[in-house]
Amino acid sequence: MATPQTHVIVIGAGITGLLTCQGLKKAGISYSCFERDASLNSRSNEWTMAIHWSLPLLAEILPTEVRAKLATIACNPVAGIHSGLYPIIHGETGDLITGVPYKDGLRVPRSKMRALCSEGIDVQYGKTLADVAFNESGNGVIATFTDGTLVSGTMIVGADGPRSRVRETAMGDAKLAATTSFPIFHTNMTVCYNDAEKAKFVREKYPTSYLALSERSFHAFQSISSMPDGPDHPETWVFHMAMAWMGQSDNAMCYAERLALVKSKAEGLGEPARSAFMWMPEETEVHKADISYWISQPWNNKDGRLTLVGDAAHPMPPYRGQGLNHCICDVSKLLAGLAGVHSGSTALSDAIKEYEAEMIPRGKEEVTCSVENGRMLHDWNKIQESPVFKRGFLPMDGHDSRKEVAQAS
């Protein structure tokens, strides 16, 4: 049985890793967090994310003073946390195809969400994990970093994203832990029109975001990302935009070439999508996103001394808006198990076994579903059959938990 001296080593200070630390700190469990990037804002790319069915779980994880600020980081602070229908529109006509219902949803920019989750959390930056060793006694773990730092703890939690180094250790083979590329040309843009009338026009009908699906089998997405000077200064509003279609990405293209390609597709769209993309400034940096996935499967958790959360456990295509929600769910369930370990009522091996028995089949199903949904949303003849049309934003729950638990054990 564990003792109150339980110490958790968290690898990765993305949103999932920071949330894990917030929950550990709130529960009085010792932790240390390591991030390979040099600082919180080392990566400049920005995008927005939707939190919906996991919002109550997030509220439980965060301490009161941090939770109170959630609504203030919303992409559209006027709307904040709200319920409604998420608009999926016909790309060429602009007409509504369907509204996906959600209750108490919150769309946030990645940077603000990460900054909020980092409040009060001590992170050691510039630390790249090199190796993980497990004591032969069956108790404890030692993490070694490329700068020579050695850290010992009760267990290690991999929150280090889709290309997780901890997952390689868990699987015992880098090839088994490797992600599969999703064959799609996916672009992300951060846009400010510097024009009040243009900004108001492109979001007049859809105040927060929309997804436009084209008969030519591609999607166009726009979301308000932030209002730096408030809702009364639309000339400063910043938007997150994306466009994607099935096919391999051309890594050799420069920003200007990608922008021209995106605008060539946007010419045939209806409003507001057409103007939203055609008005993008010529200096817009069109980033190519490498979309990949890994279908969750059982790994060696070293008698509970190693586990995975979030994108390290189930990286998935983003086309059903589930990634962050499952990350939050993972953290919630892991923390519940570790609370028992910390109190001495549950053995670490039992707590992690129970956590993984639920999480692995859930992750497997959601990754599989998101891959299927990603393909169908980019095929005009199949979009109505896609999981986002049939299931909406609710998590998938069709797996046979008893069968999967038996397999996981």
User: Which pLDDT belongs to residue 135?
Assistant: 87
For the entire predicted model, the pTM comes to 0.93
What is the gyration radius of the CA atoms in the chain, in angstroms? 22
**Bridge partner residues of 181 (DSSP):** 292
Measured in degrees and rounded to the nearest 5, phi and psi for residue 293 equal: -150, 160
DSSP codes, 289-337: E--EE--------TTTTEEE-GGGT----STTS-HHHHHHHHHHHHHHH
> What is the DSSP pairing of strand 155-158 with strand 209-213?
unpaired
Considering the segment(s) 47-110+183-290 as one domain, its CATH architecture is 2-Layer Sandwich (3.30)
CA distance 93 to 91: 6
Q: How is the chain split into domains, by residue range?
A: 7-40+118-180+293-381+397-408, 47-110+183-290
Going along 68-136, which residue ranges are E strands? 82-90, 96-109, 123-125, 129-134
266, 278 contact by CB (below 8 A): yes
Residue 398: per-residue pLDDT:
58
- pLDDT tens digits along 71-93: 999 999 888 888 999 999 999 99
Rounded Cα–Cα distance for residues 295 and 319 (Å) = 16
Nearest residue to 408 via CA among 294, 295, 298: 298
- The band of 1, judged by pLDDT with boundaries at 50, 70 and 90, is very low
Buried residues in 218-249 as b, exposed as e (16+ CB within 10 A): bbbbbbbbbbeeeeeebebbbbbbbbbbbeeb
CB 48 within 8 A of CB 378: no
CA–CA separation, 55 and 62 (whole Å): 11
Indicate if the pLDDT at residue 251 is higher than 90.
no
Given pLDDT bands bounded at 50, 70 and 90, which one contains residue 44? Answer: low
What does each C-alpha distance from 364 to 173, 369, 407 come to in angstroms?
A: 19, 9, 13
Q: What is the pLDDT of residues 207-241, one digit of tens each?
A: 999 999 999 999 999 999 999 999 999 999 999 99
- At residue 328, what are phi and psi to the nearest 5 degrees? -65, -40
pLDDT in tens, 116-148: 999 999 999 999 999 999 988 888 999 999 999
Which residue blocks in 109-225 are alpha helix, DSSP H? 110-117, 165-171, 174-177, 196-203
CA 140, distance to chain mean position in Å, is 30
Q: Which H helix or E strand runs over 144?
A: strand 141-145
Average pLDDT of the segment spanning 305-330: 96
Mean pLDDT of the chain: 92
Considering the segment(s) 7-40+118-180+293-381+397-408 as one domain, its CATH architecture is 3-Layer(bba) Sandwich (3.50)
Given a cut of 60, whether residue 404 has pLDDT beyond it is no
DSSP category for residue 396: P
Which one has a higher pLDDT value, 390 or 154? 154
pLDDT exceeds cutoff 60 at 356: yes
